[in-house]
A and B are shown apart, each in its own frame.
Chain A
Amino acid sequence: MNLAINEPWELELPSTRTVRFVKARTALRWWPVAILLVAAFAAAFPFLLAPLNPDITNLSARLEGPGYSAGGVRFILGTDNLGRDILSRLIWGVRVSVVVATASVLVAGGFGGAMGIIAGAQKKILGPVIMRVADMVLSIPFFLLAILVVAALGPSVRNLVIVLALVRWPRYARVAYAQTIETSKREFVQAAIALGARKLRIVRRHILPEVLPPLVVVATLEVGLMVVYEAALSFIGLGVQPPTPSWGAMLSTGQEFVSTAWWISTFPGLALFLLVVAVNRLGDLVRDRLDPRGH
C-alpha cells in the first residue's frame, strides 16, 4: 500500500531493504492481535498459565507485595487481602472479561443489526416502531439501565450478557438503519427495484454487503466498551460473584487497600487497560481496512 505508484512513468522499483522495512512496519501495526491471542489463550486454558490456584487463601501471606515468597511458593505479583495469588487470579479473570464481552457483542450486534435492516426496509409501520423503541432505550443512561436490570435479574454471567446486549443493541440498529436507508437510495438498488427484484433478494444481495462493514466496525469498538462495563458492574458488586476471579472485583478490593497495597488494584487495572487498548486499536485497524476512503 505504501509503495503505490500513481503513474507508469514514475515506476522505480524500491530496494529490497525498503520492502523488508515496510513489511516489518506493516506487520508491527497488528500488535493488538498478539495481545488478543494471549488473552484468548489465557481465557481458554488458564490452568496452563496460572502458577497457583486462584481461590486458595493463605492468611499468613496477606497483603504481601510483588515478589514475596514463603515456603517455596513465590507470589510474583503479590497477594490480596486474603492471601490469594494476584497473578493467578489475574489469569483466571481474563475468562469472564473475554466471554462476557464477546457474547454480548455478538448478541447485541446480531439482534440490533437485524432490527436496523428490518426498520430500514419496512418504512411504513414496523420501521418507526423499532426505531422509536431503540431511541427509547438509548434515551436511558445505559449504565443506569444496566444496573437496574442486573439488580432485577440477579448477577450472573448469563444475565450480564443479556443486560449488556439489551442496553447496546440500539447502537447497531441505528447504524444498520441509516446504512440501509442510504443504500436504498443508491442507483444499483433503484435499478434492482426497477427490474422487479423482491425485497428479500435486494436486502440479501445489495443491502447486506453495504451494512455489514460499518456494523463490524461498531462491533470491534464495542468489544472494548463491553470489557470495561463488565468490569465496572463487577466493581460495584453487580457483576460476577465472588470467589470467581474478575478484574473489576479485584479493582474493587484494591480500592479498599489503596493506601497500603498498591499492587492489588494496579495489576488488574493494567491488564484491563492493555486488553481494551488492544481491542480498540484493532477496531481502528479494521475500520481503516473496511473504509478505503480514509486512505
Chain B
Amino acid sequence: MIRFILSRLVQAVVALLGVLTVVFFAVHTAGNPVRLLVPQNASAADIARLSHQLGLDRPLVDQYGSFLLNAIHGNFGYSFVQNQPALNIVLSRFPNTVELAAGALVFALALAIPIGILSAVYRGKWVERVLMPVILVGQSMPAFWSGILLILIFAVHWHIFPSSGQGGLRALILPSVTLGSISLATVARMVRGSFLEHLNREYVRTAKAKGASMPRVLIRHVFRNAFLPVLTILGMETANLLGGAVITETIFAWPGVGLLTVQAVQSLDFPVVEAVVLFAATIYILANLAVDLLYGVVDPRLRIQGAD
C-alpha cells in the first residue's frame, strides 16, 4: 500500500512540474509583457531598463530556473494590475469558488445518481425514454446559454433570484444550477453506462438466478463494481469545478477564481495568469490523487497492480 501511495505521489509531482513548464513557456512565448507595462511613448532604453529590473533579459533557462524556485515557494511576483502578490489575489477568490462548486455538486449528485441507475435498470422502458432526453438536453445546453436563459426567466422576468453577484443562498441558486447541470449530465451518463455494462455480466445473472431481488442485486453486487468509474469522473468533476468555472462565473459576475482568470488574461496580467493556472492545476492534481488513493481502498486489486 505504501509503494502504491508513493508511486502516485511521484506521478503527481511530475505532473505539477510539467504544468509549471507549460505555463512558463506559454507565458514567455506570448511576447514581452514589459510593452504592456510601459506607456505607449516609452523609449527603447526605458523598456530595456524595466526588462532588466524584472529579470526578463536573462537567458531563458536562467529565468526558468528561478521561476521554478519561486513557484515552489508560492511566489509568482506582483500582479501588474493590482499591486499585490499574485497568489494572494488567487487565494482571496478561492472561497467563493468553493462555495459555487459545492452548490453545483450538491445539485448535480442529488439528481444524477438516481437518474443514472433508473435509466440503466429500465433500459428501453418509458423511464429511460423520458430521463435520457432530459440528460441529453442538460449536456447540450452550454453554460453560457443556460445561464443567460435562467437569468432571463428567473431574474429579468420573474425577479425571483438576483441576476449576478454573490451573497446568500438566493444568489447561489442560479449559478449552481447552471454549473451543476453539466456535471449532472456527465455523472448520470457515467452511472447509467457503468450500470448497464455490469447488468450484463455473468455474476449478475448468477445472482438473479439464485433468486436475489433486483434491489439486492443492485446494491450488494452491482453498486460496488459499477461505482468505481463513477468515482473517477466524480473526482475529475470536483477538480474541474474547483479549478474555476470560468464561463459560469463570468455570466453571473461571481467573484471566484474563474472570473479572475478571464480578467487576468484580458488585462495580460501574467503573474496572476501563472498563479491561477498553477493553483487550479494543483487542486486538480490533488483531487485526482485523492481519487486514485480512494480507488486503491475500494478495489484491492489495484493496490498490487499500481505498485508495479
Decide if the interface of chain A is mainly helix, strand, loop or mixed: helix
Q: Does B250 contact A (CB under 8 A)?
A: yes
Q: Does A145 contact B (CB under 8 A)?
A: yes
Q: Which of A145, A148, A228, A258 contacts B148 (CB 8 A)?
A: A258
Binary interface profile of A, 267-286, with partner B (CB < 8 Å = 1, else 0)? 01110110011001100000
Cα separation A262 to B150 with both chains bound (whole Å): 12
Q: Does B281 contact A (CB under 8 A)?
A: yes
A151 B136 Cβ-Cβ under 8 A: no
Q: Does A149 contact B (CB under 8 A)?
A: yes
Which B residues lie within 8 Å of A276 (CB)?
Answer: 140, 142
Which A residues lie within 8 Å of B246 (CB)?
Answer: 143-144, 147, 232, 236
Cα separation A142 to B75 with both chains bound (whole Å): 23
Which B residues lie within 8 Å of A148 (CB)?
Answer: 22-23, 26-27, 265, 273, 277
Which A residues lie within 8 Å of B140 (CB)?
Answer: 224, 273, 276-277, 280
Q: Does B166 contact A (CB under 8 A)?
A: no
Q: In chain B between 113 and 140, which residues have their CB closer than 8 angstroms to a CB of chain A? A: 136-137, 139-140
Which B residues lie within 8 Å of A254 (CB)?
Answer: 148
Cα separation A144 to B15 with both chains bound (whole Å): 16
Q: Does B151 contact A (CB under 8 A)?
A: yes
Q: Does A176 contact B (CB under 8 A)?
A: no
Q: Does A160 contact B (CB under 8 A)?
A: no
Which B residues lie within 8 Å of A293 (CB)?
Answer: 200
Q: How many of chain B's residues have a CB under 8 angstroms from any CB in A?
A: 49
B265 A141 Cβ-Cβ under 8 A: no
Q: Does A209 contact B (CB under 8 A)?
A: no
Which B residues lie within 8 Å of A268 (CB)?
Answer: 145
Q: Does A251 contact B (CB under 8 A)?
A: yes
Q: Which of A139, A231, A255 contacts B288 (CB 8 A)?
A: A139
Q: Which of A145, A251, A258, A273 contacts B156 (CB 8 A)?
A: A258
Cα separation A281 to B141 with both chains bound (whole Å): 13
B156 A259 Cβ-Cβ under 8 A: yes
Binary interface profile of A, 231-261, with partner B (CB < 8 Å = 1, else 0)? 1100111100000000010011011001100
Q: A140-B281, A231-B142, A235-B144 are in contact. Are A255 and B251 (CB under 8 A)?
A: yes
Q: In chain B between 255 and 288, which residues have their CB closer than 8 angstroms to a CB of chain A? A: 261-262, 265-266, 268, 273, 276-277, 280-281, 284-285, 288
Cα separation A101 to B203 with both chains bound (whole Å): 42
B244 A277 Cβ-Cβ under 8 A: no
Q: A133-B18, A140-B281 are in contact. Are A232 and B29 (CB under 8 A)?
A: no
Q: A140-B281, A147-B261, A236-B246 are in contact. Are A135 and B144 (CB under 8 A)?
A: no
Decide if the interface of chain B is mainly helix, strand, loop or mixed: helix
Cα separation A280 to B281 with both chains bound (whole Å): 28
Range class of the A interface residue count? 35 or more
Q: Does A266 contact B (CB under 8 A)?
A: yes
A140 B151 Cβ-Cβ under 8 A: no
Cα separation A224 to B136 with both chains bound (whole Å): 12
Q: Does B239 contact A (CB under 8 A)?
A: yes
Q: Which of B14, B163, B240, B281 contacts A132 (CB 8 A)?
A: B14
Which A residues lie within 8 Å of B30 (CB)?
Answer: 151-153
- A46 CB to nearest B CB, Å: 21
Cα separation A254 to B68 with both chains bound (whole Å): 42
Q: 14 A-B contacts, Cβ less than 8 Å apart? A: A136-B14, A136-B15, A136-B18, A139-B15, A141-B281, A148-B26, A148-B273, A153-B29, A232-B142, A236-B266, A238-B265, A269-B145, A272-B145, A280-B139
Interface residues of A (CB under 8 A from B): 132-133, 135-136, 139-141, 143-145, 147-149, 151-153, 224, 228, 231-232, 235-238, 248, 251-252, 254-255, 258-259, 262, 265-266, 268-270, 272-273, 276-277, 280-281, 293-294
